[in-house]
Chains A and B, each alone.
Chain A
């Protein structure tokens, strides 16, 4: 089976002389997996995610999604949640749903309204009137309401309360198609560990570990959270 995402000798440097945010990364992510993209601040997680979405240009090397270079065709199959608010705050939740429906052929409107109902979010509310956490929930609902082949979630639970985290993680695992891959970048490893199939550890822009969660537990006798603390101990 072809990988859903492949990095070939991928390097990204933000300016001449600066240490690369990603340094000759070679990585293949397979389909049907939930993958944790883990690493301390400045390890290159968000840079990798932005490159996968065409928001940054690689310095050298490249990134392929479903064997296609990043572009319109990959935007059709990638559902991306950035670590910031990216919706027009003048919109209502209803309008944001219509926006997604207008542009993404795989958007499931009913699924979005069901999740809004479960999280007690008023669809007629204007986004600028919502709390930061609720805005993040709305964005996650929009992203997870697509039938994408690759979901790329940058810090999806960082800004929400612990009570909502379980619902969100449950939303992630129950709303993606089984052949799809979910990439989750987060610091809250203990919270996501139970849903992960694989992890990728990044340090100083390099992949230091890419393994299945089961293999980590078997070979190291540790949880992913414990291994992370050991590998990235300051």
Chain B
């Protein structure tokens, strides 16, 4: 059943994202070509060139930010519309467990966000190739080497793993907040936003208190100690615990406390 759910979750959003990706890549190529054109333009006042360059940069940067926001909006909207709005009348009456629904939404959400990351990286590579100096590829290779070198250290790897887990936790926190919000009799969206912000504040407080308890609060040195101390494990456990709570409690709410009024 997971495969079937995933198929429909991916099909429901891919068209919109495909259009967004095409627009972003087209704007990126347009940006590179325009900036090159501005660079080689002769007889144009410097002020005009600077203004044109700035406008193009803002436009391209805006498209990049818009792509990230749109991806998140589509991922969140799919969960909301498909499970707790009108489509939920069908989705929640399918002979499929709510845990399977959560997993499908999580996997499709991760897939689309990672795909958007890859498309953005491709756009940045186009800009680097088009506008960078001769040694741009060498610099990029060096950056990648540095990135992979972090895996040579155990804590570097753990730091990366925590980043991935944090990313998953972030998506599940949104899903969980929507599940909590749907339990409200009225103002379900505000309920979800309130649940999300409330949880964020409580979690930040936990981290703050935890940092104080373990003596890790206080600037860059603390961050270094955090990275290279055994406390990173605590962080891993803390994130995994949240992932499990959001996943299973969210699925339980959809199953036992559904409220499609």
Which A residues are closer than 8 A to B by beta carbons? Answer: 14-15, 50, 53-57, 71-73, 75-76, 78, 80, 82, 84-88, 90, 99, 102-104
> A78 to chain B: which residues have CB within 8 Å?
93
Neighbour of B95 across the interface among A72, A88, A99, CB < 8 A: A72
Q: Which 8 A-B pairs have the closest CB atoms?
A: A86-B89, A55-B260, A86-B90, A75-B95, A82-B89, A76-B95, A102-B4, A103-B94
- Pair B256/A87 contact, Cβ less than 8 Å: no
Is B242 an interface residue, CB under 8 A from the partner? no
Knowing A55-B258, A57-B256 are in contact, say whether A103-B87 is a contact too (CB < 8 A). Answer: no
Further pairs besides A75-B96, A84-B86: 20, Cβ < 8 Å:
A50-B260, A53-B92, A54-B93, A55-B92, A56-B260, A71-B255, A75-B93, A75-B94, A76-B95, A82-B89, A85-B86, A86-B87, A87-B90, A88-B8, A88-B87, A90-B12, A102-B4, A103-B1, A103-B4, A103-B94
Knowing A14-B261, A55-B260, A56-B259 are in contact, say whether A103-B92 is a contact too (CB < 8 A). Answer: no
Q: Is the interface of A mostly helix, strand, loop or mixed?
A: loop
Interface size classification for chain B: 20 to 34
How many contacts A-B (CB < 8 Å)? 65
> B86 to chain A: which residues have CB within 8 Å?
84-86
Which B residues are closer than 8 A to A by beta carbons? Answer: 1, 4, 7-8, 12, 15, 82, 86-90, 92-97, 185, 255-261
> A99 to chain B: which residues have CB within 8 Å?
8
Pairs A–B under 8 Å by Cβ, sample size 25? A14-B185, A54-B93, A55-B88, A55-B89, A55-B93, A56-B258, A57-B256, A57-B257, A57-B258, A71-B255, A75-B93, A80-B89, A80-B93, A85-B86, A86-B87, A86-B88, A86-B90, A87-B87, A88-B12, A90-B12, A90-B15, A103-B4, A103-B94, A104-B94, A104-B95
